[in-house]
């Protein structure tokens, strides 16, 4: 667990460094994810080193959002002024995004499978 935590923090830090070089264009955590993936992919890091820590953290991700969620109370007044526009815009757009992404991906996957079977 300590070894795993160390490696995750190390890659987080490397991600933050890279993010600084890119002027914060992409957050350090996302870059850290990419770097950790690359290190595992190119066998620089043994997956056993991070397995238990990484699985424990990612399985319990939702609880880390509680402080940010409670933060909504601070913006309650601002949000309530344009409540209808905000609610409908977020809800409508989120539903559309989910449907579009899922349909495009599923459609392209199916087409690929079909293409393969006709070639064979």
Within positions 57 to 116, which residues make up the interface with other proteins, using CB under 8 A?
A: 57-59, 61-75, 78-79, 82, 84-86, 88-106, 108-109, 112
Integer CA distances (angstroms), 100 to 40, 49, 105, 107, 111, in order: 32, 38, 9, 10, 16
Min separation Cβ 22 and other proteins, Å: 10
Q: Kindly identify the residues of this chain, within the stretch 1-40, that bind other proteins according to CB under 8 A.
A: 5, 8-9, 11-12, 15, 24-30, 32-37, 40
Half-sphere exposure at residue 99, Cβ-oriented, CA atoms within 13 angstroms: 6
How far is it, in rounded angstroms, from Cα 14 to Cα 44?
A: 15
User: Does residue 55 belong to the site contacting other proteins (CB under 8 A)?
Assistant: yes
Give the one residue of 3, 20, 46, 51 binding other proteins; rule: CB under 8 A.
51
């Amino acid at each position: 667990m300590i070894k795993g935590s160390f490696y995750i923090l190390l890659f987080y830090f490397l991600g933050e460094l890279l993010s600084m070089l890119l002027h914060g264009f992409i957050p350090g955590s996302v870059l850290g994810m990419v770097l950790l993936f690359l290190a595992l992919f190119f066998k620089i890091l043994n997956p056993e080193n991070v397995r238990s820590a990484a699985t424990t953290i990612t399985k319990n991700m939702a609880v880390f959002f509680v402080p940010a969620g409670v933060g909504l109370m601070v913006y309650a007044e601002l949000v309530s002024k344009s409540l209808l526009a905000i609610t409908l815009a977020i809800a409508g757009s989120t539903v559309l995004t989910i449907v579009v992404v899922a349909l495009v991906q599923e459609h392209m996957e199916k087409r690929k499978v079909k293409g393969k079977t006709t070639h064979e």
